[in-house]
Chain A
Amino acid sequence: MKVVTGVVGNDIHVVANRLIELSLNARGFEVFNLGVNTYLEEFFDAVVETGAEVLLISSLNGEAEGWSREIKLLKSSYKGLDNLVMMIGGNLVVGSADAEEIVPKYKNYGFDLVFHQVDLNTGLDTLEEYLKQRGMR
């Protein structure tokens, strides 16, 4: 299964980005890592070019929020992305806030799976479980 991943916006947490790639590889995913400083359009374009089933965006210190507000609008401008599994993880807020508050907000932005300050393996276990439930894995 193909996954496009990368770090959105001007965020530069390159180490975490690399760890995500290694973990996804270890779990048998084919990974297309766009690296840091990635624009939303590039994420969706990479999904279209690769035929990926999963888009996993990572972010630190709330950088994603400004970008995520545009996700639904941008995604709707693409044809054929209705079944794309959208996942985001990292530290998704500026300052501090509870996951109970953040997760619904990001789901409302258009993500299927949202992980705020959750360790990587837990997030990826949940992704695999989610894919199984949808009959994708």
Chain B
Amino acid sequence: MNRLLIDVGSTYFKVSTPECIEQHFRDFNKDILDDLKYKCQKTIECYKKNDVYICSSANGGLSTLIIGLTNSFSLKYAKNIAFNSGINIIESVMYQNLLDYSIPSDLIDVVIIVGGINSNRDIFKDDLYEYLEKLNYSNIVFVGCENEAQKLEKNIQNLVILPNIIDEKLHIIEENLKVYLTNLYQQDIEGKEDIKNLYEITANQIYSTPYIVNKTLPFIHTKFGVVDPFILIDIGGATTDIHYSKDLVDDNIVTENEYDRLVFKKLGVYKSKESLIFAAQSNEFVYELLAHLKVTENIFSDESQKGTKVLMQLAIFLVLTKMSYYKQSYINLKLLSINSIVFTGGITKVLSANEIEDIISFFYKKILNSQHNPMTVLDGNYDIWTIGAGGEENVN
């Protein structure tokens, strides 16, 4: 198939033709399209708009706060759907303990309210509206009990009401919220003036890169020697994305998707470097890890290649920790069951396989108290996104 695939990252862009993949460091003084044309004009000219497919993770995902009635159902289901839509969850709040939570100061892209089967009633009271008034958010959606919808709509401005994600058998219905969140994510990407301009060279929809990578996963074996079950970690300039098979999650949620993903919006090594350092400094094992790497805390202000390497290694450790039973705030993966960890993104340009394996081994020993040693697979040529990038025909 003669298609041009373009991935616009926060640090690099990659241009893939059937012959090769070009990678270019972005010039931040230029509009993305101008930069792209300047560096790849001849390549782009060879393709019609219909044959150009673009994805981007340059905007780093949406931040979400979820207010749910219980942990076992509404919060768990909404979190699962949000994760699967590439959303970054900054807080999940149990409605009945609303007053115990501190108010996030960041702007929240979307607030999700959920709870109750449709025949339940009188669930949400004034305390919900008072809490919402203190939040700073752009979008708000209700996906809970039908009997509550009208009341909430009267009291909450610009509330979007979608069908309940909890059915009358207490099972999850994910599609409506997933489509809404995926579209919001999409609008967020396209809302960037830079990204909109890219429609000058493509007639196809521009998708988020995590969405495209998730489409790739069932076909990853066509290009890589990956042993199931596996996880894929994409450490980029602005975000770190994790893609995983649902076999690795204990949560008993039956959905149609074989793979889910998480986007850690503030865990990248260039654009969100400061928040990565903050997360590292808040982790009690990081100083042991720095000692293991034979560096000191001064490395955080080191702008050299060595400093970037250590940041990348910290990012691997932090993201694995966030997925482990050691930290309960995110989905816990059965990390002792995985056989491969696939790495893609800028990390493959900075770290060698040995340096990555060293961190993984440190993580398993220190956090999971295990000698387990999953195989490391590096996507050094940014091939992974290309499998899912070219539309349906490419993956079928």
Contact = CB atoms under 8 A, between A and B. Distances in A.
B166 A49 contact: yes
Contacts of B74: 49
Contacts of A49: 69-70, 73-74, 115-117, 120, 166, 170
Most buried by B among A30, A34, A41, A50: A50
B121 interface: yes
Contacts of A45: 69-73
Contacts of A2: 119
Nearest to A35: B252
Nearest to A46: B170
Interface residues of B, number: 16
Interface in B64-81: 69-74
B42 interface: no
B77 to A, nearest CB: 10
Contact of A48 (B70, B119, B121, B169): B70
Contacts of B71: 41, 45
A21 B174 CA distance: 27
Interface in A54-94: 78-80
A50 B70 contact: no
B337 interface: no
Nearest to B73: A49
Interface residues of A, number: 17
Interface in B165-221: 166, 169-170
A79 B73 CA distance: 17
A51 B120 contact: yes
Interface in A1-41: 2, 30, 32, 34, 39, 41
Q: Is the interface of B mostly helix, strand, loop or mixed?
A: loop
Nearest to A43: B72
Contact of A46 (B73, B119, B121): B73
A42 B252 CA distance: 12
Given A32-B169, A45-B73, A48-B70, A78 B115 contact: no
B96 interface: yes
B228 to A, nearest CB: 26
A51 B73 contact: no
A117 to B, nearest CB: 30
A48 B117 contact: no
Contacts of A41: 71-72
B69 A50 contact: no
Contact of B120 (A42, A44, A50, A78): A50
Contacts of B166: 49
B169 A46 contact: no
Contacts of A79: 96
Most buried by A among B69, B120, B121: B120
B8 to A, nearest CB: 42
Nearest to B74: A49
Interface in B237-277: none
B69 A78 contact: no
A44 B70 CA distance: 9
A1 to B, nearest CB: 12
18 contacts: A2-B119, A34-B170, A41-B71, A41-B72, A44-B70, A45-B71, A45-B73, A48-B96, A49-B69, A49-B74, A49-B116, A49-B166, A49-B170, A50-B116, A50-B117, A50-B120, A51-B119, A78-B96
Given A39-B72, A48-B96, A50-B120, 13 more contacts: A2-B119, A30-B119, A41-B71, A45-B70, A45-B71, A46-B70, A46-B170, A48-B69, A48-B70, A49-B70, A49-B115, A49-B117, A80-B96
Closest 8 CB pairs of A and B: A45-B70, A45-B72, A51-B120, A42-B72, A49-B73, A79-B96, A48-B70, A50-B117
